[in-house]
């Protein structure tokens, strides 16, 4: 019997940027990463290793469940975010950020 087991090692680095909002800061760092201005290597290994069964289309069952919650909430929260004149601490921004991680 063949069983797929996923091994994940995490690299991480904190990048400090000047920005007007959290979303703008994330976009700025994403652009820097995509332009290879930020490169993670063995020195950025944070000793976080996860070994688990591979789930279809998601890293794990947790990500699958989180995605279900995000999909349930995101449209209503986006509407509320727009109606509230885009406050910087709105849960919609957290949902967007969380969605990027799964």
Q: What is the pLDDT of residue 100?
A: 82
What's the rounded Cα separation, in Å, for the pair 45 and 29? 19
Query: Long-range CB contacts (< 8 A, 24+ apart) of 58-63?
Result: 58/102, 59/6, 59/8, 59/102, 60/6, 63/102
Give this prediction's pTM: 0.48
Q: What is the pLDDT of residue 10?
A: 85
Which residues is 7 bridged to in the sheet?
51
**pLDDT, tens digit, 9 for 90 and up, residues 36-88:** 999 999 898 888 787 766 666 666 778 888 888 999 999 999 999 999 999 99
Residue 9 has pLDDT above 90, yes or no: no
């Amino acid at each position: 019997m063949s069983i797929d087991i996923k091994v994940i090692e995490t690299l991480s680095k904190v990048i400090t940027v000047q920005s007007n909002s959290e979303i703008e800061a994330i976009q700025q760092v994403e652009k820097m990463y995509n332009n290879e201005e930020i490169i993670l290597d063995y020195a950025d290994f944070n000793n976080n290793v996860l070994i688990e069964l591979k789930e279809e289309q998601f890293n794990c069952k947790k990500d699958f469940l989180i995605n279900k919650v995000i999909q349930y909430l995101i449209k209503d929260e986006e509407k509320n975010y727009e109606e509230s004149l885009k406050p910087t601490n709105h849960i919609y921004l957290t949902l967007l950020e969380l969605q990027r991680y799964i």
